Structure 1
């Protein structure tokens, strides 16, 4: 048998933690001296200790740990819990990284304030266009919610259109519709000349935009804030109001997002 100090060193935990586990009945010593109160442990108890620490580190409370261990969770089940927890942590990390990139992009937008070039904006009519389309809902119009939705949508619509042998006749288009609950319907579209038959995607005609304020954005869409800022200044200075969320036309979309070229199109009407 091992003293509490020895057992703590062998189990890679603190003596204080073992005392706490004893106090709450999660891991009792194999023997407690009735006179001195010294705790002693057996090597076989390392198995339960390892499970306690593993399950606790997955984010469960000690009460939940007790319930899980009382159900005699197997090693295979522990591996399954680890895989699930890893997926949750990776998703959280990706979300936090996306939020950080969004904040950094917002700061870069702030740095460009006062240096807006409104001459880049072109007012024009956008013709109607027939598209193959897939749609999905995003929690909001913020970049960290839109990106994880629009990117897989475009990959999927490209795959389905190719499998259907439907000819694509122009660059991809994304457009968005706001919902009353604050969420946004995200639409990923590919212009097509025709698409006879039944498909696992929608074919519809996007209506014309009679008056659109348009601007070319160069680079990743994470950096689009400063381009929208330029567009907003132009719309206000020229006496217009925006009527909907922007359409995004992917004019050039290589693997490197920093080399993307995207046209933003916002429907506008005269103010007042």
Structure 2
């Protein structure tokens, strides 16, 4: 069970938005504490939240979203809905290229990889965030635990926020050693500690996918994202980012939840301003 704040962060929405979705009958909490009225959610509800965000992103009304959530359209019907909306935007708002690119990306995700694998690839904007980082070259992925331990030993516990994360600058299949940058998110800027770098990660657009289950299936999730990128309007640059929202207990791989993020850029290489001026 996830607290409302954790679920809001996981779904990239505000707590206020979750309360609004509840009031509008779009997303009911899994549990409401009768004494405090505090809402809690299950990880499996993330799919419903992603659907709501997708429908809102393409401009559907609350009534239309409520109907789609109730009827659960098939993949074919969902492709038709997205296609109709794309045509409407092309006729109505020729200058809205950013919205059009988002719909194209979602069409590719719905039409292809989700149907075969169950993974949903989502393009999302990530806000700047302060992190404490420990970067070293390691021989095995398991050695990243040592890097996380270094951060957690050397930084004040009250500074740390959220879950563990990692930037993989080089993976095992890309060189003789793994280049890993272990991260812990910070509540606010702080002075660095010995061997620990503190910096602000910039705002960026990412292709994001959530993987539930054993780590040995994560490479297939990466292949799915790469295949999706090959058909999208985006290219990926920079290190791979993983956020470990829920780490498995002994014998409990099914409980783990990992988010994979790849920084993406328009395939034509031009900025938003340059594209609009063209």
With normalisation by structure 1, the TM-score equals: 0.48
* Bigger-Rg structure (1/2): 1
The normalised TM-score by structure 2 is: 0.47
